[in-house]
Homo-oligomer: A and B are copies of this chain.
Amino acid sequence: MSAAINNIEIQKAKTSKISSIDFDNLSFGKVFSDHMLLCVYKDGMWQLPKVVPYQPITLDPSSKIFHYGQSVFEGLKAYKDTDENIWLFRPEDNFRRLNISSKRLSIPELPEDYFMAGLKTLLQVDRDWIPKSEGSSLYIRPFVFASGNGFHASPADEYMFIIATAPSGSYFSGKLKVLIEQTYSRSANGGVGFAKAGGNYAGQFYPTQLAVEKGYQQVIWTDDTTHEYIEEAGAMNIFVRINDTLITAPISDRILDGITRRSILEIAKTENIPVEVRKISVKEVVEASKNGTLKEMFGAGTAAVISPIAAFGHEDKDYDLPTLENSYGALLKKRITDIQTNKSEDPFGWRVKV
């Protein structure tokens, strides 16, 4: 699995788009850096990755990506500190999760070096694209999809692995109002919910649109059997604080094993925050809100970092969260972003220099 590569071929773009980008007003994931990493699977193996100019992809109409949703992706960020050093946060975890997702989708797994050395080379080539301003970063999108052809519902024989990057600002603006879903579901027991599979996301669009029409920005998914337990949000795991205990749902085959979630659990321990990883019933959250013991809710994910939830809706009623002085969310967000951006020590060894 770990073919070592000494040198990654680099094909430089003839011109750079960088002067056209307003780095002070970045949205999320809408402008793309000059280069991308490209790696092709054919003849039964992953060919050597290359850095190439960011460029269109040409596919046959029968390519399986168009028909059978055979695709997985990852999301991580590169940060630049005041000394122009470039940092990644737990990138091996993204690599491992990409392969976990790939396996579930019958996509051939990638050698670690192709991912890690490929990513680092790409970031060096496009280092000027990494924003420095507070709250901005270079969003990194590794993805793999079926490029092989044929109208037959079976795994493709060719794939593309690409890493593209986008200088980005924050994912959400303002405080979040979320709806606890009681009709639709994100994933099945024994399904692909734990994988970052493309199809998991499109399936969320319609229920989210319905929630948006009712004034919410995001849906909180519940288990598909009973809708009684809170699972996660569209692209975030969910934390609930009742009294002084921070609670999050356990990982299962329906829930993405978020790297932010995992990091928060570890940081919380060192901050002496009481943590519980267990099923959270909707009933418990509603009751805690009613009796005043529900102190905080927040979403946690790479794109959204830690996003405080201001209110949640459940069965046509809205429940406001209080505004706290000493919020766990704010503390944990500071701790994690300080580590990510090299503003603090990193006792966990999570930061990786590029």
Q: Could you list which residues of chain A lie within 8 angstroms of chain B, going by C-beta atoms?
A: 28-30, 32, 36, 54-63, 65-71, 73, 75, 103-106, 139, 141, 143, 145-146, 149-155, 162, 164, 166, 168, 171, 181, 183-192, 197-206, 208-209, 224-225, 227, 234-235
Rounded to whole angstroms, the CA-CA distance of A61 and B62 in the bound complex is: 18
In angstroms, Cα B28 to Cα A322, docked, is 60
Q: Are B155 and A151 in contact (CB under 8 A)?
A: no
Q: Say yes or no: A62-B197 contact (C-beta < 8 A), given A143-B67, A184-B190.
A: no
Q: Are A224 and B184 in contact (CB under 8 A)?
A: no
Q: Which B residues are CB-close (under 8 A) to A166? A: 62, 151
Give the residues in chain B near A186, CB-CB below 8 Å: 188, 191
- Could you pull out 15 A-B pairs where Cβ atoms are within 8 angstroms? A32-B62, A58-B59, A61-B162, A61-B164, A67-B141, A67-B143, A67-B201, A75-B151, A151-B168, A153-B204, A154-B205, A186-B188, A188-B224, A192-B203, A224-B224
Q: How many of these chains are in the complex?
A: 2
- Interface pair A58/B56, CB less than 8 Å apart: yes
B151 touches A141 (CB 8 A): yes
Q: What 6 A-B pairs have minimum CB-CB distances, sorted nearest first?
A: A199-B199, A29-B151, A69-B198, A69-B199, A188-B188, A106-B205
Which of A68, A69, A150, A171 counts the most chain B CB atoms within 10 A? A69
